[in-house]
């Protein structure tokens, strides 16, 4: 899915960090014109902490990145949505051993001054320090979740990975 319109970044300082971030934040998706990208992501209740940055890959590609730190209690609600439990939760549940979860979304800054969608990446760090990464396509379902301020992640890929995290979780010995 492309942004509408394909934004052209003009001026001599085309890819200054703040300018690039603001261009992405103030753009609109064609199908979701009620809110700008920045307004939708900045108000997404999944995120306990939010930060916008510009990053450069080793190949020199520049990306605007939205960084979302997910509150453990919110992540637990997502996990329970995909992996219902029939007993009250206790501290020994393996998926309670998640230390931190983050969701990153990136937009590629093209050389011609336009930008395009990248992808979302969910990172889960366990108490033992191990990290799992899952790429999540943004369009259409994750964007629908963001724009409707939902955090059940309607995408099948995300749900399957949450179930995988649950099945592969290791309980930290006391």
Note the pLDDT tens digit of each residue in 77-102: 776 666 655 555 555 565 667 788 89
pLDDT of residue 12: 37
pLDDT of residue 92: 55
| pLDDT exceeds 80 at position 125 | yes
What proportion of the chain, given as a percentage, has pLDDT over 70?
A: 67
| pLDDT exceeds 60 at position 166 | no
User: What are the φ and ψ backbone dihedral angles of 162, each rounded to 5 degrees?
Assistant: -60, -45
pLDDT of residue 148: 86
Question: Starting at the edge strand that comes first in sequence, how are the strands of the sheet with 115-126 ordered?
Answer: 47-56, 62-70, 98-109, 115-126, 131-136
Q: Given pLDDT bands bounded at 50, 70 and 90, which one contains residue 17? A: confident
pLDDT of residue 153: 60
Exposed, middle or buried, 46 (CB in 10 Å: 0-12/13-18/19+)?
buried
């Amino acid at each position: 899915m492309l942004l509408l319109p394909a934004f052209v970044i003009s001026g001599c300082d085309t890819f200054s960090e703040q300018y690039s971030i603001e261009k992405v934040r103030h753009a609109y998706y064609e199908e979701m014109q009620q809110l700008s990208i920045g307004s939708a992501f900045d108000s997404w209740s999944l995120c306990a902490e939010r930060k916008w940055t510009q990053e450069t890959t080793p190949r020199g590609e520049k990306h605007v990145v939205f960084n979302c730190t997910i509150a453990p209690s919110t992540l637990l609600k997502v996990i329970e949505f995909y992996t219902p439990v029939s007993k009250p939760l206790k501290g020994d549940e393996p998926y309670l051993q998640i230390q931190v979860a983050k969701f990153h979304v990136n937009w590629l800054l093209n050389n011609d001054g336009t930008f395009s969608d990248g992808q979302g990446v969910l990172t889960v760090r366990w108490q033992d320090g191990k990290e799992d990464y899952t790429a999540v396509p943004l369009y259409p379902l994750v964007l629908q979740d963001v724009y409707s301020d939902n955090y059940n992640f309607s995408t099948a890929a995300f749900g399957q990975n949450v179930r995988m995290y649950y099945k592969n979780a290791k309980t930290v010995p006391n």
